[in-house]
Amino acid sequence: MAEQIKPTLKDFLVIHPGPWAHGVALRAGISMLVPLLVLVAMGRPEWSAYAAFGAFASLYGRNHIHLSRAVMQASAGALLTVSVVAGVLVGNLASRAWVAVGMAAVVAVLGSVIAAVQDWHPPGPLFLVFAFGAVAGLLRRQRSRPRRLAPPRPADAVRCALPVLLAGGAATAVDIGHP
């Protein structure tokens, strides 16, 4: 008789790395680290977000070789650039919230179609939407005048600490390894 498997909560939360996952992670880390170090050396760390999104292009096409990989990376790089530029334009609008939502949907639709047609790996428009949304949300905050800080209130500190304690306690109780 076949043995029944009774999954636990931990079984649903643990992700085991696939073959070559560590190599892919290392390559992705180096792809991000190099442009960020260059910006720090140039004294321009405020450009980090833009460089990171540009570096995402190097992550595309790991299952392709030579010309097909270069084409995929060029395509992804061009679309990441367009997403960042669109994010800059939307981020500079005085009332950008609903425009950003609509444009993010457009980026998602166009990105998913292009990713499917060109068989992108990693698939889908995730990086494009992330690039657009992050940049669109970044600019107004950076350009706004600094506000006068209110003195800290103990109730706010407790309100912030309580969810962290509950989430960390729950993660530790089910032993998922990331409290």
Q: What is the DSSP string of 68-106?
A: HHHHHHHHHHHHHHHHHHHHHHHHTSTT-HHHHHHHHHH
> Given this model, what pLDDT does residue 149 score?
61
The confidence band for 38, taking pLDDT boundaries of 50, 70 and 90, is: very high
Q: Are 134 and 140 in contact (CB under 8 A)?
A: no
CA distance 146 to 151: 15
Which residues, including other chains, have CB under 8 Å from residue 167's CB and lie 6 or more apart?
none
* Token pair in block for residue 166: 């509950």
> Given this model, what pLDDT does residue 90 score?
93
> Given this model, what pLDDT does residue 104 score?
93
* DSSP 3-state of 116: helix
Nearest Cα to Cα of residue 175 among 15, 16, 13? 13
Q: Are 99 and 90 in contact (CB under 8 A)?
A: yes
pLDDT higher than threshold 80 for residue 166: no
* 15 or 51, which is more confident: 51
Nearest Cα to Cα of residue 100 among 134, 145, 143? 134
pLDDT higher than threshold 90 for residue 47: no
> Given this model, what pLDDT does residue 105 score?
93
Which residue's entry shows tokens 């595309």?
60
- pLDDT tens readout for residues 94-151: 888 888 999 999 999 999 999 888 888 788 888 899 999 888 887 755 555 555 666 6
Q: Are 48 and 110 in contact (CB under 8 A)?
A: no
> Given this model, what pLDDT does residue 178 score?
54
* Token pair in block for residue 51: 């460089």
* 177 or 8, which is more confident: 8
* Token pair in block for residue 86: 């669109």
Give mean pLDDT, residues 53-73: 79
Give mean pLDDT, residues 143-168: 66
pTM, rounded to two decimals: 0.62
Q: Residue 140: how many CB atoms within 10 A of its CB?
A: 17
CA distance 98 to 35: 32
Give mean pLDDT, residues 17-39: 81
> Given this model, what pLDDT does residue 145 score?
56
Give mean pLDDT, residues 38-45: 92
* 175 or 148, which is more confident: 175
